[in-house]
Amino acid sequence: MKTIELSSWEEFQDELKKLQDLLEKKRSKDGHHVSKPLFRGQSDQRWLLESTLERFGIHDFPFHNYYQAMWRSKAQIETLTGKRWAIESMSEIEQFFESHETLMVPPYPGYDFMVYLRHHGFPSPLVDWSSSPFIASFFAFNSAKEKEENGRVAIFAFCEFFGSGKFGMRGSPEIQSLGPFVTSHPRHFRQQSAYTLCIAKSKEWHYTSHESAFMRNDLDQDLLWKFTIPTSERRKALEYLDLHNLNAYSLFDSEESLMSTMAIRELYLHLPSA
């Protein structure tokens, strides 16, 4: 991971241009395969790049156990929401393991249901990203503590393929992007979402930490940049984003997010800075 400390919102926009130029140069050279970058914003640069499952306190969790939790929850969720998901049964999952050497064979088992659960607060091994650096910036700055001394937000940029295919030692952590093409909540598309998993295999497949994979510092796969920006730039950033219709309401489309957007506009952006 490459960490780049910036002093202003404008510097971040300059760095985005440099990043796009770097990827395009690599892409145009000998037809190298270079992924489009994904972005993620966090309101405190000290936070690790973690899934909500890890934040829930569960680490290195077996795939089979997580899938079983999904399966056990499914009937009650369907009954109370009126929604339906066609996911593999536990016996079909056992057959899947017998016929595949890797979990990363599309379609990923239960992906639609996993994304639904992730968007509605069920702890998930999925880490969510956006194809838009500005949507990621909104999530970084919206709840940032502007007055915190030396406070900084973090905006991550992830490039899965940087000139070649994926490779790694057997049993080592492997990051896999699952992409945006999934039936999900409308906010998935408003936020231009995509998701990654990090998996490894010892005796069995298990979900593990993205940080463990990024620690390898590979040169042509799983590249990660971390841009940090002072929280004192919050007003400037949110004003720019709202001007381009990137706010809580445009990204969530709920009454609560409408109230949040009105509060930011009328009680923050339109008042003189303290």
User: Could you give the CA distance from residue 118 to residue 128 in angstroms, rounded to a whole number?
Assistant: 9
Q: What is the pTM of this model?
A: 0.91
Place of tokens 């400390």: 5
- The letter for the amino acid at 80 is L
Interatomic CA distance for residues 202 and 129, integer angstroms: 27
Say what the pLDDT of residue 168 is.
Answer: 59
DSSP 128-163: EEES-HHHHHHHHHHT--TTSTT-EEEEEEEEEEBS
Q: Per-residue pLDDT tens for 93-111?
A: 888 776 666 666 667 888 9
- Token readout for 38 is 């994904």
pLDDT at 249 over 90: yes
Give residue 165's pLDDT.
67
Rounded Cα gap, residues 113 and 71, in angstroms = 10
